Chain A
Amino acid sequence: MSNRIPEDHQAKTAKASRKAKLTAHRGLATWGEKLVPLGEFRRAVDGAGRRLSDAQRDAAIERFTAPVGDGVPVEGPYRRVAVCGGVYANAYALEALLDDARRRGAEAIYCLGDLGGFGPQPERVWPLLVNGGVRTIQGNYEASLASGRDDCNCGYADPRDNHYAAISYRYTAQHSSPAFKAWMGELPERRRIRVGERELLLVHGSPRRINEFLFASTSPVDFLELLVAQNRCHGILCTHTGLHWHRRLPSGADVINAGVIGRPANDGRTAVWYAMLGCGTDGTLEVEHVPLSYDHQALARDMRREGLPEPFVETVLTGWWTTCLEILPARERAAGRF
């Protein structure tokens, strides 16, 4: 009983102080940690910052969004090209891709990086890429492995996502030879190709950052137009998110996320996806997202034998993501099962 009185008293003062808080700001502004008369704050704010003229503003925006040259040579021209995103050590899918793309008449095959991670025995994809003549750029995985970084730099923010990413990265780093890592370090960060009349920039995440996520539902048209204009091209190909999409911009430029062939696209199908590019009759780019079936049972078997996490295996067998979920925007998240 004896401690009831102070508790009551505490509750009362808490209530009183809360009430005081609700009304504390009448006529006052918060300046840092203090309350000052509202007029004083407003006067200080009015004088703060820059106030450019309209012409200066236009010039400032123009400078800020000015194009940046990269001096990357243009490969091609091609009439038909296959482009795949992350391989994630899925040698079965890579073999299937080489067959499928040739059968569909691809003159060249490009890979946008992230050769390892997720899957088993990462070094198996190396001879397939080299012998298959696949023109590859660096993903964040290659950049990290080649430089000896202690994480994959995938760009996750959630602890569970990071936990699984760390398992993949440790496994991949341990199962990649120094020679393979050195080869990764030699890969270019970006390439440019010509398909018909169109010059396309190939990057891993985005033209700005190797680990930037370009999702369909969070990549505004005006933002993509700016990327295209700043990089002086007719289109951009990227991967890194694991989800494929294509948007033709009002300017006629194309932005294509090729998806990945390493794991399914969180759509309940076991197939993986790559992109086929061709010349349209009217000079435009033809873009097709191609589903690719491969021996996913064999992949799952190998992953289990290597002791890789069971949630990864589940994704291979069901087509639903079980990890990396927290990076997904609302719309992409809602489309999956987990």
Chain B
Amino acid sequence: MAVSKTLHQAARDGGAAAGESARDVPKVELRALDTLWFQVAGTVCNLACSHCFISCSPTNRTHEHMRLADVLPYLEEARRLGVKEYYFTGGEPFLNPDMEAILEATLKQGPATVLTNGLLLDDGRCSRLAALAAGSDYSLDLRVSLDGYDAATNDPIRGEGTFERILQGIENLAAAGLNPVVTVTEVHAGNATAEGRRRFLDLLRAHGVAQPRLKMLPLFQLGAEAERSGAYESWQQLRRGDAPPEGWDHLQCTTCRMVTDQGVWVCPILVNEPGGKMGQRLADSLGDFPLDHPACWTCHVYGVSCKT
């Protein structure tokens, strides 16, 4: 497989200096820390989807689970920084035995969203989550990933038999009174069209979701997705002159940070690039970040935001 080198890789190979100076790398500042992400299950997942941009799998320990005790100091720091919302992702967050305790602690201080693949949402879990939601002043949102409106389109991406299991999870949530946001990637060309959206909405209604909610996401050509559809080309890099007149405010890294068991990262996307790490605590990560990764190009061109 032909892999074009990212700057980070080039830097590692010692060949970056030329490229670095030839390209005027724009920097973004953190305007406010509104959205705090926790990669609470690390890169450990019970699936190994072929478009997963961080290549999660049952054996991927690039990032490990975070325990409640790991999360609490960040929550404390987040209060001082006035964080507005908390997102939990992985891997699969519900593989983490502390997940519900972490949610309980979080919901005392702000709204929480969990990004899940839907496989571990049995009745017991759903009713416990509903109780957590009811007990908080803030919203609890579940985002469930689905990549096709039938098994024939979903399963080749997410794994055999997953379509049925995901819909069962969604039904269980709906039965418990929790209305998930179903997240669909543009892995199939038709998914994000009006017709595609209608089919997803109809599917969800047929499975007991009275107020179906959808979020469409473009793909990052990283990790497994790079293997599936090809890596970035060398021209997919941002330059200072690319800044729109209103600046870089459309990029989520102006308002978010990501915490994993290894520290604080600029955003949810660059966690598999050591260059994306900004420090150990949130206070270490309040400075500028250079947009020197090709994934930044996707963010800019597609206006990506991982939050709902």
Contacts and interface: CB of A to CB of B under 8 A. Distances in A.
Interface of A: 14-15, 18, 21-26, 29-34, 38, 41-42, 44-45, 47-52, 56-58, 60-61, 63-65, 157-159, 208, 215-223, 225-227, 325-326, 329-334, 336, 338
Contacts of B211: 325, 333-334, 336, 338
A329 B263 contact: no
B179 A330 contact: yes
B21 interface: no
B264 A333 contact: no
B186 interface: no
Contacts of B215: 157
Given A21-B48, A22-B48, A333-B213, A61 B81 contact: yes
A297 to B, nearest CB: 28
A32 B283 contact: no
A42 B77 CA distance: 25
Nearest to B61: A38
A31 B79 CA distance: 32
A33 B286 contact: no
B28 to A, nearest CB: 15
A29 B139 contact: no
Interface residues of B, number: 74
B62 A41 contact: yes
A34 B155 CA distance: 25
A135 B214 CA distance: 39
A7 to B, nearest CB: 13
Interface in B252-289: 262-264, 272-275, 277-281, 283-287
A45 B140 contact: no
18 contacts: A22-B58, A22-B59, A23-B57, A24-B48, A26-B59, A31-B272, A33-B9, A34-B9, A45-B262, A49-B279, A50-B284, A57-B284, A60-B284, A65-B81, A220-B83, A223-B84, A223-B110, A329-B141
Contacts of A330: 133, 139-141, 178-179
A51 B264 CA distance: 11
A243 to B, nearest CB: 13
A18 B158 CA distance: 10
Interface stretch (B96-104, B115-123, B218-226, B235-243): B218-226
Given A45-B263, A48-B275, 11 more contacts: A22-B59, A29-B61, A30-B43, A33-B223, A42-B262, A48-B277, A49-B263, A49-B278, A52-B283, A58-B283, A330-B179
B263 A32 contact: no
Interface in B148-194: 156, 159-160, 177-179, 194
A215 B54 CA distance: 32
B279 A52 contact: yes
Contact of B287 (A50, A215, A225): A50
B8 interface: yes
Interface string B41-62: 0010000101000110111111
Interface of B: 3, 6, 8-9, 12, 30-33, 43, 48, 50, 54-55, 57-62, 77-85, 109-111, 133, 137-141, 156, 159-160, 177-179, 194, 197, 211, 213-215, 222-224, 226-227, 231, 262-264, 272-275, 277-281, 283-287, 305
Contacts of A223: 82-84, 110
A326 B182 CA distance: 12
B264 A49 contact: yes
Contact of A51 (B6, B80, B280, B286): B280
Give the interface centre of B9, B55, B83, B140 by most chain A CB atoms within 10 Å: B55
Contacts of A326: 213
Contact of A33 (B31, B85, B231, B305): B231
Contact of A45 (B54, B141, B277, B284): B277
Contacts of A208: 31-32
Give the interface centre of A23, A42, A223, A326 by most chain B CB atoms within 10 Å: A223
A221 B48 CA distance: 39
B93 to A, nearest CB: 17
A217 B178 CA distance: 15
Contacts of B82: 65, 220, 222-223, 225-227
A325 B212 CA distance: 11
A225 B83 CA distance: 11
Nearest to B30: A64
B289 to A, nearest CB: 10
A178 to B, nearest CB: 24
Nearest to A47: B274
Give the interface centre of B62, B77, B211, B305 by most chain A CB atoms within 10 Å: B62
